[in-house]
């Protein structure tokens, strides 16, 4: 593995090249990114950075000099046009680059509103990269009217920032409730009440029919027949894995770029990691969109490129910051048939524990880091607490372990 080329300079790509060097790889490493910025953290974009509480330089995972100091060729603002698996080379900007191992860490792309319903109007934004946030920062002036489309974590985090900055915020969610895809009804209730306490107008079971305006968005027509006057729109309706390069190269796809337990694609010389990759998990396949998975998966793939032969075992965990509430989640609640609520020690703190039968699958904790840490350790150890003891706030969480 003399030359390793990594396409995608996000969290996964940066973690992978750093791990290769840390494990002693002495060959050439090239990291290619489409954005003009060195690899950076994405979670603060829709929170601290958008609030103006974090400088751009603090987002960067490493100073740009780090890459040269570690013998990593960092190529920014460049787009890979094609992979030639037979010749083992990629094409970009009129040149070809050979590889012994190619790693795709291309991440995911935000879903956008279709142009026929106003998705291409000025003032319609998505939350994904630095350029997206920089473009919307001037919009956040007190008193302006924001429409957020989508009641997932991205939409709710954007709504929280806007409300804190004194904007008038309306959020529409086409599903029955916010966070419907990822959380229990009680968690939805918790965050609905939280946002309403800050003046956010949340409308569930209401979709967007179209945006209106001449050149720039001025209004919105909703599925319940109501109309809104808006100054700008933030779209948070999910992401899709960036698989165009892989598909054109003939690689197998399955809700992303399909890899085996080592991180190898259907081509033995091409690997994938992070948001763009789906991998084996508990008899099925999953694709995780999270910073922890991007790091852990990328580091596991780096080790396997160098011959470790160690299957990647995901330990899913996530977080979301909204106002003064930190939501922490561990595990995956898919297939649960019971949810146990545990009150926290402080006002406003509580946790929800997801079970399938008597098996603990996942935990969600709001301002309750102890419950989160205990739940995470139990899930990783394959242990399940007694439900009655769990629901009793007088029981000691440490005993449950």
- Domain boundary residue among 214, 235, 256? 235
Paired residues of 325 in beta bridges: 322
Quick one: 260 and 357 in the same domain? Answer: no
Residues 297-320 have a mean pLDDT of 96
Question: What is the spatial distance between Cα 15 and Cα 40, in angstroms, rounded to a whole number?
Answer: 11
Name the CA dihedral angle for 265, 269, 272, 278, rounded to a multiple of 10 degrees. 10
Q: pLDDT band at 345, cuts 50/70/90?
A: confident
Q: How confident is the model at residue 174 (pLDDT cuts 50, 70, 90)?
A: very high
- Asked if 101 and 249 sit in the same domain, the reply is yes
153 in Cβ contact with 289 (< 8 Å) = no
Tell me if 314 is assigned to some domain.
no
Q: Establish if 161 belongs to a structural domain.
A: yes
60 in any annotated domain: yes
Does 167 lie in the same domain as 22? no
Same-domain check for residues 230 and 378: no
Tens-digit pLDDT profile for residues 94-118? 899 999 999 999 999 999 999 999 9
Residue 95: the pLDDT is 94
Percentage with pLDDT > 70 across the chain: 100
Q: Which tens digit of pLDDT belongs to each residue from 116-149?
A: 999 999 999 999 999 999 999 999 999 999 999 9
204 shares its domain with 260: no
Confidence check: pLDDT of 1 > 70? no
Choose among 362, 357, 364, 269: nearest CA to 314.
Answer: 362
CA–CA separation, 258 vs 256, rounded Å?
Answer: 6
Amino acid 64: pLDDT: 86
311 occurs within a structural domain? no
Counted domains in the chain: 3
Q: What's residue 182's pLDDT?
A: 85
Q: What is the pLDDT of residues 41-92, one digit of tens each?
A: 999 998 889 988 999 999 999 998 999 999 999 999 999 999 999 999 999 9
Give the CATH number of the domain where residue 364 resides. 3.30.390.30
> What tokens appear for 183 in the block?
């959380």
* Higher per-residue confidence, 1 vs 190: 190
What average pLDDT is seen over the chain?
95
DSSP 233-273: EEE-S-EEE--HHHHHTT--BSSSEE--TTSB-SSTTEEE-
288 and 199 in one domain? no
Shared domain check, 189 and 169: yes
Residues of the domain holding 43: 3-109+239-305
For position 45, which CATH number holds?
3.50.50.60
Whether residue 250 is found in the same domain as residue 361: no
Give the Å distances, CA to CA, from 97 to 7, 80, 264. Answer: 12, 10, 20
Model pTM score: 0.94
* 233-258 residue pLDDT tens: 999 999 999 999 999 999 999 999 99
Same domain, 220 and 243: no
The band of 154, judged by pLDDT with boundaries at 50, 70 and 90, is very high
Domain co-membership, 24 together with 99: yes
Average pLDDT over residues 342-355: 93
On whether residue 139 sits in a domain, the answer given is yes
Kindly state the tokens that stand for 211: 């945006």
Which of 174, 202, 235 is where one domain is finished? Answer: 235
Say if 175 falls within a structural domain.
yes
Give domain status of residue 291, yes or no.
Answer: yes
In a domain, 18, yes or no: yes
381 and 358 share one domain: yes
Q: Has residue 157 got a pLDDT over 90?
A: yes
């Amino acid at each position: 593995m003399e030359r390793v080329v990594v396409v995608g300079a996000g969290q996964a790509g940066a973690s992978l090249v750093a791990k290769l060097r840390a494990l002693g790889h002495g060959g050439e490493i090239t990291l290619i990114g489409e954005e003009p910025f060195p690899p950076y953290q994405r979670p603060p974009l829709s929170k601290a950075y958008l609030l103006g509480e974090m400088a751009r330089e603090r987002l960067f995972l490493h100073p740009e000099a780090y890459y040269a100091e570690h013998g990593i060729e960092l190529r920014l603002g460049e787009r890979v046009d094609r992979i030639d698996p037979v010749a083992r080379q990629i094409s970009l900007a009129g040149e070809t680059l050979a590889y012994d191992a190619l790693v795709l860490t291309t991440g995911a792309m935000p879903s956008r509103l279709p142009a026929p319903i106003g998705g291409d109007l000025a003032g319609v934004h998505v939350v994904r990269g630095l350029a997206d946030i920089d473009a919307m920062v001037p919009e956040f002036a007190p008193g302006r009217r924001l429409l957020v489309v989508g009641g997932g974590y991205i939409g709710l985090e954007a709504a929280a920032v806007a409300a804190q900055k004194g904007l008038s915020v309306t959020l529409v969610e086409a599903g029955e409730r916010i966070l419907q895809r990822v959380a229990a009804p009680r968690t939805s209730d918790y965050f609905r009440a939280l946002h309403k306490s800050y003046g956010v107008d949340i409308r569930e079971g209401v979709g967007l029919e179209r945006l209106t305006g001449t050149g720039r968005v001025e209004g919105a027509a909703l599925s319940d027949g109501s109309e809104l006057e808006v100054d700008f729109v933030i779209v948070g309706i999910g992401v899709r894995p960036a698989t165009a390069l892989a598909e054109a190269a003939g690689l197998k796809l399955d809700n992303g770029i399909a890899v085996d337990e080592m991180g190898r694609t259907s081509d033995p010389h091409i690997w994938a990691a992070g948001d763009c990759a789906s991998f084996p998990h508990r008899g099925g396949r999953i694709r995780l969109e999270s910073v922890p998975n991007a790091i852990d998966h990328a580091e596991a793939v780096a080790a396997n490129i160098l011959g470790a032969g160690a299957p990647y075992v995901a330990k899913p965990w996530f977080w979301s910051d909204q106002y003064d509430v930190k939501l922490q989640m561990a595990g995956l609640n898919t297939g649960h048939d019971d949810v146990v609520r545990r009150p926290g020690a402080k006002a406003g703190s509580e946790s929800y524990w997801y079970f399938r039968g008597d098996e603990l699958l996942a935990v969600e904790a709001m301002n309750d880091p102890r419950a989160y840490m205990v739940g995470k350790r139990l899930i990783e150890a394959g242990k399940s607490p007694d439900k009655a003891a769990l629901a009793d706030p007088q029981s000691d969480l440490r005993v449950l372990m």
